[in-house]
Amino acid sequence: MSKKVEGKVALVTGSGRGIGREVALKLANEGARLVVNDLDKDVAYQVVEEIKAAGGEAVACHGSVTAPDFAERFIKTAVDTYKGIDIIVNNAGYTWDNVIQKMTDEQWYSILDCHLTAPFRILRAAQPVIRAISKAEQEAGKEVFRKVVNISSIAGTSGNAGQANYSSAKAGILGLTKALSKEWGRMKVNVNAVAFGLINTRLTEATADGNARIDIEGRAIKVGVNPGLMKQLEATIPLGRGGTPAEAAGAVFLFCIPESNYISGQVIVCGGGFE
């Protein structure tokens, strides 16, 4: 049986853990050659080795997606290693919550930089590469589709209290998605978005003491959800539970396969029926 994305070159940000890792593994399992990224060098290389051990191809480009030179370095890694780009998944992200009167400029800009500015820079850096390859293909009479999948959230489609920064960034990525679907259609690039609901990762894992933290470039960012609140949240989901990272990856994969070649500028909600 042929694999859905055999030989395609896929770049996935934030793919050392959680949803991003599952996206990378899913694409690799279906034949794609991966550029894996994570802020943490060790976990990025762990995913690379996992893909290689399963018979796939992968390289790492670790570092912060918000670094000024990251986008060019990310794209260059793909071109230098595989000579092309076929799939870009802008997945990297985290939350840094507060009500608006207590939210600092640092909180605001850090989240917008990660969830909106970084994808913009990556896609800007990718455009000359995709344009050149697409032009050559069209001159040869070939129709080859490429895929961009931007990650949004129901916080971006509907808003969420305490997340003015995250909601704004995730709403903004939908605008970027729709704009680029119109700009890049002539290059046969499908640009779509997946908006996640509650997905069970280390960012949402129930923690009784409320003291769970992750390190983001020297900042101790609070993560996790109180168990009682988690039960309340799950009760609002028609399917009765949060999603798994593998299920989230499945939604992204839908926009990466040939069956979605005539779908662009769209957003699907992966939230178990909750919107």
Residue numbers annotated as active site: 166
Q: CB count, 10 Å around CB of 254?
A: 15
Asked whether 38 and 48 are in contact (CB, 8 A), the reply is: no
* CA pair distance 138, 6, nearest whole angstrom: 21
Please tell me the distance from the alpha carbon of residue 178 to that of residue 117, in angstroms, as a whole number: 16
Contacts of 194 (CB under 8 A, 6+ apart): 149, 150, 151, 152, 248, 251, 252, 255, 267, 268, 269, 270
What region does 49 belong to: left with phi over 0, alpha with psi -120 to 50, or beta?
alpha
Token pair, residue 181, equals 């679907």
Q: Which residues pair with 267 in a beta bridge?
A: 193
